[in-house]
């Protein structure tokens, strides 16, 4: 393994010494992981540009990364299991997903404090691990970053073409050449005449080029307009909601793929090393990986390239959960890789989406995400988890169907595919609001209010039992072509016409994008647009709630229509467009009317018609939740919480 040592910078007891069940107190270790990687090892040769990374006098590659570890003060009280959280753009995410913790609001220059939430992971005794794996995370104190060397050829920095997309929330004249405040790749030449700026109404549209003389690489600092390689400026302005794409010559490429190797080698060290400085005390039996959205796509790339074994051919992660990653991967091993990119319209890594080999939409290739795992006979267990939002984004169904959407595909025996019915990209917001404070995104309807974190806790327990006790988990739950629950989204227009919400005028299907013959060293920019993939979504009932997948009690015993999609509000531009075609998809909550005659235009049965009383409603919730516990999609741990949340929802929607 390449990990040399962990330089401990800080060690502190968390939550003022709070006792977490039988596990006791937890501490956080904050440090810097130092790596010395051998570029000649076969397992490292899959790192793009490995031959162009500077080496030391011993012929090794030196780099480092931020590392945070939360573990029991008394390591003997741990459950001897790691859960590794692939940080999302430098931010910790598993605490919000498994501990129901709130995610702090980002302000310039300050990373939000960790909220421990309900402490579930601590009570279970897990060792929680985070590592900086991305070079381009914002340089903000508290965010986790990778510090890797700059690539060079013959002693000179590498330049090359790069492709980015932006969608402003308001009319602006200038945009930084990065996504979500990330460190941009600067333009090699601010007078680059070959640079191309274009725009689209929808992701699957052909781009419309903007004349080069209409824009420039420049920044207005409030006093004057100056050339700047990190910004683009257009006098007529960039319009709210419009999708803009730019391709240009950049410089300063770093070894993006070292993030994959660092993840592999840190976990191998924590799991297997008997080094006296190992914070885990060499008391780890199993390791699990978890990633959300962008970091879930990182795990799909990790799986596809099979970084899941170390230099002694030992398994790194025993279980992996790529969550709300859809069918995509990303630029995690690419020259000029931009880790923040998240759309099939601007990344090369959409195919293969399914785990088993299948033809691409334009044939010519046949590949599967887990093929290298299969050939190596890896015993690692995989849960692919998505909400309806990733289906409406256009890529999640490609996990379990052929590329044209005509037939179902079976998941490999060591994997499962789970769909969280009628949920949006992240846990729901309560009480309902139409605006997300984190980024100011505003929807035409209330945002989806279903808190699916109880389902995530149950799935984690199922994965753990599968790995550590050989207890088979429930079968996959997702829309299927064979039983008619997977449908073309355009076929749902009639059903949604009966619900007081506007249906999207257009559904964007992913297209085959030709970036050249090598997805890791991009040759063709802007890409050529090819055939459309056959994306599907779950069918819905007469209330507009999804039929397929794991149904949260709020979906099965509803007080509202819960959709995984929402339309952008006119305040943020493009009100014809689904939220999340750039960024995280947001869903809707459309409450039922209270009484039958409250709104004659709303044909959905009222709350009064559905339930005779609050007591009856809560009894139905309780009965259904108990059934979910038996089916292993809910824990007894969450029963009381579900009932309390349901009572709150009843009071809110009937007041």
Task: Calculate mean pLDDT across residues 598-606.
Answer: 95
Rounded mean pLDDT, 614-627: 98
Pick from 118-127, 515-524, 546-555, 632-641: least confident = 515-524
For residue 493, the model assigns a pLDDT of 97
pLDDT of residue 342: 74
Q: Answer for the pair 76, 98: CB distance below 8 angstroms, yes or no.
A: no
Helix axes 639-654, 614-630, angle to 10 degrees: 150
Which pLDDT band, with edges at 50, 70 and 90, does 71 fall under?
Answer: very high
Query: Model-level pTM greater than 0.75?
Result: yes
Residue 104 has pLDDT above 80, yes or no: no
Structure tokens at 285: 């039996």
Closest CA to 293 of 433, 179, 200: 179
pLDDT at 510: 94
265 or 342, which is more confident? Answer: 265
| Number of Cβ within a 10 Å radius of residue 570 | 13
CA-wise closest residue to 448 among 460, 438, 458, 434: 434
Task: State how far the Cα of 96 lies from the Cα of 82, in Å rounded to an integer.
Answer: 17
- What is the mean predicted confidence (pLDDT) over 481-492? 98
Strand partners, 320: 289, 382
The pLDDT-based confidence of 348 (bands split at 50, 70, 90) is confident
In tens, the pLDDT along 177-200 reads 986 678 899 999 999 999 999 999
Please give the Cα distance from 204 to 5 (Å, whole number): 47
Percent of the chain with pLDDT over 70: 98
- Supply φ then ψ for residue 205, to 5 degrees: -75, 155
Tell me what pLDDT residue 103 has: 74
Q: Kindly state the average pLDDT of the residues 422-439.
A: 92
Average pLDDT over residues 264-288: 95
- Which range among 79-83, 212-216, 282-286, 417-421 shows the weakest confidence by mean pLDDT? 282-286
Strands (E) located in 489-624? 511-514, 528-532, 537-538, 560-563, 588-591
Inter-residue contact 427 to 97 (CB < 8 Å): yes
Our measurement of the distance from residue 249's CA atom to the centroid of its chain's CA atoms, rounded to an integer in Å, reads 28
Separation CA 28–CA 11 (nearest Å): 6
The answer to whether residue 106 scores a pLDDT higher than 60 is: no
pLDDT band at 111 (very low <50, low <70, confident <90, very high): low
> Cα separation of 280 and 276, whole Å?
10
Q: pLDDT at position 107, please?
A: 56
Q: Which of 73-87, 142-156, 288-302, 407-421 has the lowest mean pLDDT?
A: 142-156
Mean pLDDT of the chain: 95
For 118-126, what is the mean pLDDT? 98
Count of C-beta atoms within a 10 Å radius of residue 171: 12
Q: Are 538 and 421 in contact (CB under 8 A)?
A: yes
Quick one: tokens of 528?
């050529």
Banded model confidence at residue 523, pLDDT cuts 50, 70, 90? confident
Residues above pLDDT 90, as percent of the chain: 89
**54 phi/psi in degrees, rounded to 5:** -55, 145
- 224-246: average pLDDT: 96
pLDDT band at residue 105 under the 50/70/90 scheme: low
Comparing CA positions, the residue from 572, 578, 579, 575 lying closest to residue 172 is 572
3-state secondary structure 2-39: CEEEEEEEEEEECHHHCCECCCECEEEEEEEEEEEECC
The arithmetic mean of pLDDT across residues 293-308, rounded, is: 97
pLDDT of residue 360: 95
**What is the dihedral angle through the alpha carbons of 302, 306, 310, 313, rounded to the nearest 10 degrees?**
160
Give me the phi and psi of 103, to 5 degrees please. -100, 120
Give me the mean pLDDT over the 408-427 stretch.
97
pLDDT in tens, 550-575: 999 999 999 999 999 999 999 999 99
Lowest pLDDT segment from 97-101, 155-159, 392-396 = 155-159
């Amino acid at each position: 393994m390449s990990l040399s040592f962990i330089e401990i910078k800080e060690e502190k007891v968390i939550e003022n010494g709070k006792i977490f069940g039988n596990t006791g107190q937890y501490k956080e270790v904050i440090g810097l992981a130092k790596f010395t990687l051998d570029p000649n090892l076969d397992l490292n040769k899959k790192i793009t540009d490995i031959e162009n990374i500077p080496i030391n006098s011993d012929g090794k590659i030196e780099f480092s990364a931020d590392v945070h570890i939360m573990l029991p003060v008394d390591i003997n009280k741990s459950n001897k299991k790691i859960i590794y959280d692939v940080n999302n753009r430098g931010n910790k995410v598993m605490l919000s997903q498994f501990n129901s913790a709130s995610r702090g609001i980002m302000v310039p220059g300050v990373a939000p404090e960790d909220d421990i939430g309900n402490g579930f992971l601590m009570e279970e005794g897990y060792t929680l691990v985070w590592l900086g794996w991305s070079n381009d995370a914002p340089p903000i104190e508290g965010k986790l970053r990778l510090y890797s060397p700059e690539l060079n050829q013959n002693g000179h920095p590498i330049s090359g073409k790069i492709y980015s997309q932006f969608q402003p929330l308001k009319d602006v004249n200038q945009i930084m050449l990065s996504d979500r405040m990330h460190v941009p790749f600067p333009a090699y030449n601010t007078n680059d005449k070959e640079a191309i700026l274009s725009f689209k109404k929808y992701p699957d549209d052909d781009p419309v080029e903007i004349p080069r003389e209409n824009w420039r690489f420049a920044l207005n600092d409030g006093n004057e307009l100056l050339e700047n390689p990190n910004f683009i400026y257009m006098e007529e302005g960039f319009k709210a909601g419009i999708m803009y794409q730019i391709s240009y010559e950049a410089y300063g490429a770093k070894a993006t793929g070292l993030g994959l190797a660092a993840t592999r080698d840190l976990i191998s060290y924590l799991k297997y090393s008997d080094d006296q400085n190992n914070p885990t005390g060499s008391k780890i039996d199993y390791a699990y990986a978890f990633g959300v959205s962008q970091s879930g796509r990182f795990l799909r790339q990790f799986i596809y390239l099979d970084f899941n074994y170390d230099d002694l051919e030992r398994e790194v992660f025993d279980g992996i959960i790529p969550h709300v990653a859809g069918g995509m991967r990303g630029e995690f091993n690419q020259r000029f890789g931009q880790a923040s990119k998240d759309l099939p319209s601007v990344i090369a890594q959409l195919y293969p989406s399914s785990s088993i080999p299948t033809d691409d939409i334009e044939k010519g290739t046949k590949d599967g995400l887990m093929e290298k795992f299969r050939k190596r006979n890896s015993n690692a267990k995989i849960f692919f988890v998505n909400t309806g939002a990733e289906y409406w984004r256009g890529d999640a169904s490609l996990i379990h169907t052929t590329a044209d959407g005509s037939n179902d595909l079976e998941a490999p025996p060591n994997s499962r595919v789970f769909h969280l019915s009628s949920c949006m990209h992240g846990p729901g917001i309560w009480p309902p609001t139409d605006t997300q404070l984190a980024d100011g995104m505003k929807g035409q309807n209330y945002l989806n209010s279903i808190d699916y974190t109880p389902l995530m806790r149950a799935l984690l327990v199922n994965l753990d039992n599968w790995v550590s006790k050989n207890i088979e988990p429930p079968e996959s739950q997702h829309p299927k072509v064979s039983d008619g629950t997977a449908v073309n989204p355009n076929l749902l227009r009639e059903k949604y016409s009966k619900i007081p919400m506007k249906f999207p005028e257009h559904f964007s299907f992913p297209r085959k994008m030709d970036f050249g013959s090598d997805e890791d060293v991009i040759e063709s920019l802007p890409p050529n647009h090819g055939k459309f993939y056959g994306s599907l979504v779950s069918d819905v009932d007469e209330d507009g709630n999804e039929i397929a997948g794991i149904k949260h009690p709020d979906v099965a015993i509803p007080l509202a229509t819960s959709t995984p999609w929402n339309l952008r509000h006119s305040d943020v531009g493009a009100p014809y467009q689904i939220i999340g075609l750039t960024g995280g998809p947001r869903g809707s909550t459309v409450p039922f009317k209270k009484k039958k005659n409250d709104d004659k235009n709303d044909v959905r049965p009222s709350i009064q018609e559905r339930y005779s009383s609050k007591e009856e409603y809560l009894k139905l919730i309780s009965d259904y939740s108990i059934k979910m516990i038996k089916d292993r999609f809910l824990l007894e741990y969450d029963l009381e919480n579900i009932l309390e949340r349901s009572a709150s929802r009843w009071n809110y929607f009937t007041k």
